[in-house]
Copies of this chain bind each other. A is one copy, B any other.
Amino acid sequence: MDHKNEISGGYEHKVQYYETDQMGIVHHSNYIRWFEEARTDLMDRLGFGYDKMEECGILMPVLSVSAEYKHPAKYGETVRILASVTEFTGVKLTVRYVVEDAVSGEKKVLGETRHGFVSRSMGMVRLKRDYPELYRIFSDLLEQGKANGT
């Protein structure tokens, strides 16, 4: 496992039958869900899972999502989803995803989500001031992402 995987987790997902459609491939909407799986897994492993964030009263709503479909994943395959932080300003966060075949490494889907930070009362949050621990986590992820050339 290389350093890049170590950061992004190399989260694995086994394609389920209920994720296929009648074209015999994974329905394109499911990759958006896999992005979320990889993102929340990443946060979990960094000690800042949704539970911890909810406890802190902070939410990370999705502002936008995009996906580029290269090769369809199929039932029976296992994919690896690499998530890396490509932008972090303290008020906005961008996460990038590479979905690839866990065995062959063939690129299936590339994607990106952008997030804001809001407190439970839905006011905007400045991480550096309000949640310095979380600020440091994302800053570190951004540095690691740069170091790995993503």
Which residues of A come within 8 Å of B, CB atoms? 16-18, 20-25, 27-30, 32-33, 36-37, 40, 49-51, 59, 61-69, 75-76
Contact = CB atoms under 8 A, between A and B. Distances in A.
Contacts of A33: 16, 18, 29
Given A18-B21, A22-B22, A37-B16, A68 B76 contact: no
Nearest to A19: B21
A21 B23 contact: no
A23 B62 CA distance: 12
A28 B62 contact: yes
Nearest to A32: B29
Nearest to A40: B17
A14 to B, nearest CB: 8
B28 A22 contact: no
Contacts of A61: 23, 69
A24 B76 CA distance: 17
B21 A59 contact: no
